[in-house]
Amino acid sequence: MKYDRSNITQNPSGFVLLSDFVPGVIQEIRYYSTYNFIGDRIDGYEEPCALLTKEAARALKTVSNEMMVQGYRLKVFDAYRPAGAVRHFVLWGIEDQDTRMKPYFYPDLTKQELFEKGYIANQSSHSRGSTIDLTLFDMSTGKELDMGSPFDLFGVISHPDYRRITEEQYANRMILRNAMLRHGFEPIDCEWWHFTLKDEPYPDTYFEFPVSSAYLRR
């Protein structure tokens, strides 16, 4: 699991606070909390806020506007992820024998399989600043839409095209997916919640600065 540091930078000048662009966004930044697949706060998450490139934030605002008309708000679990946070994931996979969160996030997989099957990468698109993990919040019920599996449940049930869920759950996934595609985002094949801006501004650059509004505004 060699980690390439040749294209990593600390410069946050192209980034914004997502809440400045999408005031109605709900944020539950899981890697700031301990409720994640490792069970600890992840390195680099200094505040529970979502940061994105300006371009991705603008595109997500158009998604939010469309979803609001349909009665939904966006709920974000992760956005920009520092390269150091990804190293935290990698080192956990290699060295750490702790599997206390396995029943909740990867019940049918080994830690090694999380990397082999692409659920965790040695370098993440999140660190390029234009990738978002999100779901939809139904304003009429006050709950997240039922997507058939929760965020960061690693397994085939979380693949966007998985059909052994209810028709309603699958339809909910498609509401989110189709809205994201319409506004310039691309999905991946193993996580229904994960999207990257197709024309991302930094396709070959990975960022190291912390998730911190204070750092962004320095």
Look up 191 and say whether it is catalytic: yes
Q: Print burial letters for 183-198: b (CB count within 10 Å at least 16), e (below 16).
A: bbbebbebbbbbbbbe
Instruction: Please give the pLDDT value at position 28.
Output: 98
Q: Looking at residue 1, what is its pLDDT?
A: 40
Active site residue: 66, 191, 200, 208, which one?
191
**Tens digit of pLDDT per residue, the chain (218 long)?**
444 566 788 999 999 999 999 989 999 999 999 999 999 999 999 999 999 999 999 999 999 999 999 999 999 999 999 999 999 999 999 887 899 999 999 999 999 999 999 899 889 999 999 999 999 999 999 999 999 999 999 999 999 999 999 999 999 999 999 999 999 999 999 999 999 999 999 999 999 999 999 999 87
Cβ-Cβ contacts under 8 Å for 10 (sequence gap 6 or more): 207, 208, 209
Q: How far apart are CA 217 and CA 130, in angstroms?
A: 19
77: helix, strand or coil: strand
* pLDDT tens, residue by residue, 63-111: 999 999 999 999 999 999 999 999 999 999 988 789 999 999 999 999 9
- Is the entire prediction scored with pTM above 0.85? yes
